Amino acid sequence: MDFSWSKEQKELLDAVHRFAARELAYDAIQADRAGQFSHDAWKKCGVFGIQGLPVPPEYGGLGCDPLMTAGVLERLGYSCKDNGLIFAINAHLWTVVMPLITTGTDSQKRKYLPGLSSGAIVGANAMSEPNFGSDAFNLATTAQRDGAHYLLNGSKTFVTNAPVADLFAVYATVDKSKGPHGVTGFLVEKNTPGLVIGRKIEKMGMRTAQMAEVFLEDCPVPVENRLGQEGGGSLVFSRSMTWERGCILASAVGAMQRILETCIRYAKTRKQSGQSIGKFQHVAGKIVDMKLRLETSRQLLYHSAWLRSQGKAGFLEAAMVKLHISDCWIKTCEDAIQVHGGYGYMVDYEMERELRDALGSRLYSGTSEIQKNLIASLLGL
Amino acid sequence: MKILVPFKRVADPGSYVDQGAVEERKWIINPFDEIAVEEAIRIKERGEAQELVGATIGSEGAEEQVRTAMAMGLDRAIRVDDSRYLDAYAVSRILEGVVRLEKPDLVLMGKQAVDSDANQTGQMLAGRLSWPQATFVSKIEFVSGFTIARCTRETDSGLEVITVDLPAVVTTDLRLNEPRYVSLPSLMKARRRPFEVLTVEQIGVDVQSRSTVLKSSPTPRRAAGVRLETVEQLVACLRNNDKVL
Amino acid sequence: MIESLVLIEHCAGSIKRSSLNAARLACRLGDHFALAVLGNGVVEIAESVRALGARAVLLADSPLLAEPLADRYAAVLAAMARRLGARNLLGTSSTFTKDVLPRTAALLDAPMLSDVTGSETVNGETVFQHPVNAGSVSATVKLEGDVRVLTVRGAAFATPVPTGAPSPIEMFSFDPAALPNGTQFVSRDTRPSGRPDLTEASVVVSGGRPLKDKETFERLIGGLADALGGAVGATRAAVDAGMVPNDCQVGQTGKTVAPELYFAVGVSGAIQHMAGTMDAKVIVAINRDPDAPVFQMANYGLVGDLHELVPNLIAAIRS
């Protein structure tokens, strides 16, 4: 079993750090405070190749397999402190780009993938609704066929990237009586009449990622913009969900590495009672725990990615990745604050922001409770 | 105009961790040489140069840096296969051989390598070729129909402007430019582009280093001193203890 | 037999004192050394170095050498070294010697070692120490060959004291037509700062990026330097940000200083900067961040806002 990256893979991975150190080293404290989306950082990531990682080269991407994709995202998480930017990229990649790759028609791919890959176009996913979060497939937004169009009506919430998006993947039902089997996916361009972006939603963390409600009021979507078949919405969703669950926390592994290194440095240099605090067992113990969490997360991440690179479905593993890494990330951030003592609570030391950013990870892409239910059912319980 | 850009593979200074274990050492293009690569590319982007050739001396590991330099935008590259420790004397003689093969109009390279800190190779090369040199350059432009380079140099007494007739050797200083990063797509494309590997014999050079490192040791670190609370305390210490005020 | 030739540096009619320090090393490498003075109308410079115990002061005085163009200077210097049959060609590390001496080494087919900090004898041979890796490592090096070129780190060798008998000045002649002429001098932008030279000052006050802008830098760093009669230095970041000109940069790729007292104000302590301050006697660090690496290298540290501390310090010094 060879656990190492090849020379070629390493060269690409090393390039990520150099890129991020140069272009994404802006003041993360200030960015978090301002809570603005950085179009500049987004575009730079696009030019660098992030948004095109899994996209086939014929549509303008890099055609990377899940392993390489996870590796690049891990490095990005390590080298870029703006978790909000990375979250925005992840939302774009897994909820718009990936469904297009797996389910889009050739003309849809030709029309949208190049721009999505280069960062010229921002994608957003309108799935959750005020009354339907985890219970997504009972959604209430409707799509009524009207000649060459569907008319969409309803409201969506928690739409990441909505205020800055150019293309929306919107899920609506063509027949409420069919329950999940009526759910259908649609690609809706910004500025389509009847597509209304609501007020910005302020979040606890990842504040540079923008989020808003989206209202659909007789919004006309051409038939050729339907994603997949009528009633095939849950299929679109589940095809890309394994990628999403498997990769969305790859950057968290990088963040945990960075946080671990920061804590080790701090524990070595901060002195109390005449010695470095790293010599105190309780402090050292926390750092050891961080290391363990980092390594178990890393192993799970890459094993899941490897399975998918081998063409295996890997549902169970992806759910475990999402569940485990979110828990590890949050706990590591809590421990990091504690290691820093009073300074951990201070904005300037950046640990408090890491925790605020991490806390969302048990909620998006399926809450931890949903992941557990899924794993339980896959275990046959 | 044809520009030759020699560059050196160095350990990433950021990966010098003096406490605890260093896992894998990271390697990069010497930052000053990277500035030279960037400048050469900008000169070509302005339409003032037609061919950019990179050259490095080292073993197979150096091919990572060759690909990076090509991904930045060089047209061709040469790796001279030589894994010996080479001092500036030897490097300048090997580069002289490369220059005689490639016949560039300009050699553009970093002023010093951040590991050896020698700041000699470019000047030695210029001396061997009997070409004019412009060192520690922070700005370069071409005049008189690209036969002359007008260079601003950073010296101990400030900025100085000279002109050098081409062909010439120019060494770059920090503020000449800020190099672009290499994107993943360009790295992947560069992988498919071949580059030459030559031996010193093929270049027609037979040279040994003229310096040998007998031993190296970390320089003694200064001991951390005292934290003071007020400026008055500081002034008192400096006046009474150290007598430097 | 004159074993060593030492290149003297001068600017605007006065000698650069630290350029004499290389003569100290010359004395260790042989019984006799000569000094080389190149320029235009620099007889007085040559006169001023007659009392240093050199066997001769070689003077190449010509309008063609009015500016220190490396191709011309190297050609003349190499000819001088050949005529003497010198084994060693020395200088004190500066942008001038860095420009001229390596080229001269190539003309003499000689190796070169920069920034020598010391020498010792090993198996009957002299070997030299010098810093590498931004000064974090000291390497001991042996040089091969009939001729070797060396620059010394100014602070590592003391300025020679005047001795008795004055050295003779020998006019060194060369064929002007044989001199390279592919380089032309255009202009130099030297503003006299009214402050001591950075590499020679006994007090240096350096500032980093937290000084924010040119005016604040001048007010606080310049103000503190003036209160102490010292020179102004800067980190690369401060120079890049345009707060001060490049000749204030202290560090691995800037100047090396060795004052009695060095203030690092708003300087984090990155090794690339501190490499230039290794030889300072007392280092004082003023920084807002108590964990800044600079405090590990400073004799005294003050944690706080430099915008308050520096004016208070200036006032305390003046009182």
For residue C261, the domain's CATH number is 3.40.50.1220
Could you give the CA distance from residue B78 to residue B70 in angstroms, rounded to a whole number? 10
Could you give the CA distance from residue C277 to residue C254 in angstroms, rounded to a whole number? 11
What's the token pair of residue A290? 């961080």
Could you give the CA distance from residue A53 to residue C90 in angstroms, rounded to a whole number? 56
Record: contact C245-B150, CB cut-off 8 A: no
Record: contact A49-B64, CB cut-off 8 A: no
Does the beta carbon of B19 lie under 8 angstroms from any beta carbon of chain A?
yes
For residue C211, being part of any structural domain is answered with yes
Mutant choice from B24, B180, B184 vs A, greatest count of A C-beta within 10 A: B184
Please give the average per-residue pLDDT across C267-296, as a whole number. 91
Give me the pLDDT at residue A52, please.
96
CA C185-C70-C34 angle, 5° bins: 125
Could you give the CA distance from residue A233 to residue A226 in angstroms, rounded to a whole number? 10
CB C235 within 8 A of CB C250: yes
CB B34 within 8 A of CB B113: no
Amino acid code (one letter) for A124: A
User: Tell me, what's the ipTM?
Assistant: 0.94
Over 50: is that where the pLDDT of C203 sits?
yes
Does the beta carbon of B224 lie under 8 angstroms from any beta carbon of chain A?
no
- Share of residues in chain C with pLDDT > 70 (%): 100
Count of CA atoms in the C-beta half-sphere (13 A) of A352: 13
CB C250 within 8 A of CB C206: yes
What's the token pair of residue C262? 């060095």
Give me the pLDDT at residue C259, please.
94
What does DSSP say about strands C282-287 and C261-265: parallel, antiparallel, or unpaired?
parallel
Could you give the CA distance from residue B106 to residue A182 in angstroms, rounded to a whole number? 68
Mutant choice from C112, C142, C309 vs B, greatest count of B C-beta within 10 A: C112
Strand partners, B188: none
Over 70: is that where the pLDDT of B20 sits?
no
CB B158 within 8 A of CB C191: yes
Q: Indicate the residue among C178, C194, C212 that finishes a domain.
A: C178
Q: Which chains touch B (3 or more CB pairs under 8 A)?
A: A, C
Query: Which 8-state DSSP code applies to residue B207?
Result: -
Give me the pLDDT at residue B23, please.
52
What's the token pair of residue B145? 């129909």
HEC per residue, C228-279: HCCEEEECHHHHHCCCCCHHHEECCCCECCCCCEEEEECCCCCHHHHCCCCC
Give me the pLDDT at residue B15, please.
64
Record: contact B26-A22, CB cut-off 8 A: no
Q: List CB contacts (< 8 A) between B229 and chain C.
A: 302
Q: Which helix (H) or strand (E) holds B231?
A: helix B231-236
Record: contact B235-C96, CB cut-off 8 A: no
CB C84 within 8 A of CB C76: no
- Domain with C237, as residue range(s), is 203-318
For residue C189, being part of any structural domain is answered with no
- Give the three-class secondary structure for C301: strand
Are C154 and C247 part of one and the same domain?
A: no
By C-alpha distance, the chain B residue nearest C185 is B162
Could you give the CA distance from residue B241 to residue A50 in angstroms, rounded to a whole number? 58
Record: contact A12-B187, CB cut-off 8 A: yes
Are C240 and C279 part of one and the same domain?
A: yes
Give me the pLDDT at residue B17, please.
47
Over 90: is that where the pLDDT of C234 sits?
yes
**Backbone phi, then psi, for A236, in 5-degree steps?**
-55, -50
Count of CA atoms in the C-beta half-sphere (13 A) of B137: 28
Could you give the CA distance from residue C277 to residue C268 in angstroms, rounded to a whole number? 13
Taking alpha carbons only, the member of B155, B86, B93, B173 closest to residue B129 is B93
Does the beta carbon of B184 lie under 8 angstroms from any beta carbon of chain A?
yes
Are C144 and C219 part of one and the same domain?
A: no
Could you give the CA distance from residue A320 to residue C309 in angstroms, rounded to a whole number? 54
CA B70 to chain centre: 16
- What does the mean pLDDT of chain C come to? 93
Strand partners, C149: C89, C112
Over 70: is that where the pLDDT of B16 sits?
no
Please give the average per-residue pLDDT across C199-214, as a whole number. 93
CATH number at residue C23: 3.40.50.620
CB atoms within 10 A of CB A108: 16
What's the token pair of residue A159? 């739409």
Taking alpha carbons only, the member of B4, B9, B5, B7 closest to residue B64 is B9
CB atoms within 10 A of CB C47: 14
What's the token pair of residue B100? 């005689």
Per-residue pLDDT tens digits for C2-33: 999 999 999 888 899 889 999 999 999 988 99
Are C215 and C130 part of one and the same domain?
A: no
Please give the average per-residue pLDDT across B209-238, as a whole number. 90
Please give the average per-residue pLDDT across C104-115, as a whole number. 97
Cis-peptide, bond into residue B220, ω within 30° of zero: no
Q: CB-based burial of residue C125 (10 Å sphere; 0-12 exposed, 13-18 middle, 19+ buried)?
A: exposed
Over 80: is that where the pLDDT of C164 sits?
no
Taking alpha carbons only, the member of A186, A355, A172, A166 closest to residue A256 is A355
* The residue count for chain B: 245
Q: Which helix (H) or strand (E) holds B76?
A: strand B76-81
Q: Which one is predicted more confidently, C89 or C14?
A: C89
Q: List CB contacts (< 8 A) between B26 and chain A.
A: 14
Q: List CB contacts (< 8 A) between B88 and chain C.
A: 102, 111-112
Does the beta carbon of A78 lie under 8 angstroms from any beta carbon of chain B?
no
Give me the pLDDT at residue B22, please.
45
Count of CA atoms in the C-beta half-sphere (13 A) of B171: 27
Q: What's the sign of the alpha-carbon dihedral B121, B124, B126, B128?
A: negative
What's the token pair of residue A253? 């592994």
CB C4 within 8 A of CB C34: yes
- Give the three-class secondary structure for A57: helix
Q: Which helix (H) or strand (E) holds A74?
A: helix A66-79
Does the beta carbon of C291 lie under 8 angstroms from any beta carbon of chain A?
yes
Are C90 and C172 part of one and the same domain?
A: yes
For residue C158, being part of any structural domain is answered with yes
CB C104 within 8 A of CB B127: yes
| Backbone conformation region of residue A49, classed left if phi is above 0, alpha if psi is from -120 to 50, else beta | left
Are C150 and C237 part of one and the same domain?
A: no
What's the token pair of residue C20? 């004499």
Amino acid code (one letter) for C144: E
Give me the pLDDT at residue A5, please.
92
For residue C108, being part of any structural domain is answered with yes
Question: For the ranges B73-77, B111-115, C275-279, which has the lowest average pLDDT?
Answer: C275-279
Count of structural domains, chain C:
2
CB C208 within 8 A of CB C266: yes
Q: Which helix (H) or strand (E) holds A377?
A: helix A368-378
Give me the pLDDT at residue C31, please.
87
CA A203-A205-A209 angle, 5° bins: 75
Count of CA atoms in the C-beta half-sphere (13 A) of B215: 6
Counting one residue from B and one from C, how many pairs have CB atoms under 8 Å apart? 248
Count of CA atoms in the C-beta half-sphere (13 A) of C146: 8
Are C122 and C236 part of one and the same domain?
A: no
What's the token pair of residue B10? 């160095």
Are C22 and C127 part of one and the same domain?
A: yes
- What does the mean pLDDT of chain B come to? 92
CA C155 to chain centre: 8
For residue C198, being part of any structural domain is answered with no
Could you give the CA distance from residue C186 to residue A366 in angstroms, rounded to a whole number? 69
Are C148 and C208 part of one and the same domain?
A: no
Taking alpha carbons only, the member of A161, A59, A65 closest to residue A104 is A59
What's the token pair of residue A90? 């992840």
Record: contact A18-B191, CB cut-off 8 A: no
Are C223 and C143 part of one and the same domain?
A: no
For residue C184, being part of any structural domain is answered with no
Answer yes or no: A244 catalytic: yes
Could you give the CA distance from residue C149 to residue B119 in angstroms, rounded to a whole number? 13
What's the token pair of residue A234? 């849950």
Could you give the CA distance from residue A47 to residue A117 in angstroms, rounded to a whole number? 9
Q: What is the dihedral of CA B97, B102, B108, B109, to 10 degrees?
A: -40
Are C213 and C156 part of one and the same domain?
A: no
For residue C97, being part of any structural domain is answered with yes
Helical pair B121-129 and C95-107, crossing angle rounded to 10 deg: 40
Of A244, A317, A352, A354, the catalytic one is A244
For residue C254, being part of any structural domain is answered with yes
**Greatest pairwise CA separation for chain A in angstroms:** 79
Could you give the CA distance from residue A33 to residue A128 in angstroms, rounded to a whole number? 27
Could you give the CA distance from residue B132 to residue B103 in angstroms, rounded to a whole number? 15
Could you give the CA distance from residue A269 to residue A267 in angstroms, rounded to a whole number? 6
Could you give the CA distance from residue A379 to residue C142 in angstroms, rounded to a whole number? 70
Per-residue pLDDT tens digits for B181-193: 899 999 999 988 9
Are C250 and C312 part of one and the same domain?
A: yes
Q: Indicate the residue among C163, C178, C193 that finishes a domain.
A: C178
**Nearest Cβ partner for B156 among C113, C186, C247:** C247
Q: What is the CA radius of gyration of chain C?
A: 21
Cα-based distances in Å from B52 to B7, B72, B104, B106: 13, 11, 9, 10
- Give the three-class secondary structure for A202: coil
Could you give the CA distance from residue C250 to residue C252 in angstroms, rounded to a whole number? 7
Does the beta carbon of A4 lie under 8 angstroms from any beta carbon of chain B?
no
Low-confidence ranges of chain A (pLDDT < 70): none
pLDDT band at B19 (very low <50, low <70, confident <90, very high): very low
What's the token pair of residue A376? 């339980």
